[in-house]
Amino acid sequence: MARNITYKPGDHISAPVPAGTKSGQPLHIGGLNAIAVTDRAKTDVAALNTDGTRNAAYNWGGGNPNGYASIWLEGAAEVEVTATDAPDFGAAIYIDSVGALTATATNNTLWGHCIDSNPTDNGDGTFNTIVRINN
């Protein structure tokens, strides 16, 4: 058996993520698409203030190193997608430069495909739908 295998299967890992990343947020890191399953850790500050109250800047981040979060590179997640009409089953879903999901391909990167037969219209140009992550 190969002894150089580090992650098995390698689709649920801890990775450096952008500041402000929250659990459930779609991500595009380098060439990888992912969903954050923990908040980004902020552990370079004390957990408690000098008066013993909780330091709001501190975030354990699921035990990840500072600046990292647990992410999944596979699976499907219910996410918000900007679209003029409800995405059809199998429709391509893209991520834009600020991390928002959209049905618009132009200048965006493929993030996944809709696997929801009945997306929920939020009434503001967005739909909650289930998207299978593409990698």
> What number is the average pLDDT over the span 31-55?
96
Of 45, 72, 99, the position where a domain reaches its end is 72
> What number is the average pLDDT over the span 58-68?
95
Q: How many domains does the chain have?
A: 2
pLDDT, tens digit (0-9, with 9 covering 90-100), for 76-94: 999 999 999 999 999 999 9
| Residues 6+ positions from 100 with CB-CB distance below 8 Å | 82
Predicted local distance difference test score (pLDDT) of residue 43 = 93
Of 31, 50, 72, the position where a domain reaches its end is 72
> What number is the average pLDDT over the span 104-119?
97
Is residue 47 domain-shared with residue 83, that is, in the same domain?
A: no
Single pTM value for the model: 0.88
- For residue 118, pLDDT over 80 is answered with yes
Of 20, 44, 72, the position where a domain reaches its end is 72
Is residue 84 domain-shared with residue 125, that is, in the same domain?
A: yes
Is residue 36 domain-shared with residue 60, that is, in the same domain?
A: yes
134 vs 6, more confident:
134
Q: Residue 102 sits in which domain range?
A: 76-133
> What number is the average pLDDT over the span 8-30?
94
Please report the beta strands in 50-95, taking only residues with DSSP state E, as ranges in sequence order: 68-72, 76-82, 92-95
Strand arrangement, sheet containing 68-72: 12-16, 68-72, 32-36, 26-29
User: What tokens appear for 68 in the block?
Assistant: 């990292």
Torsion of CA 21, 23, 24, 29, to 10 degrees: 40
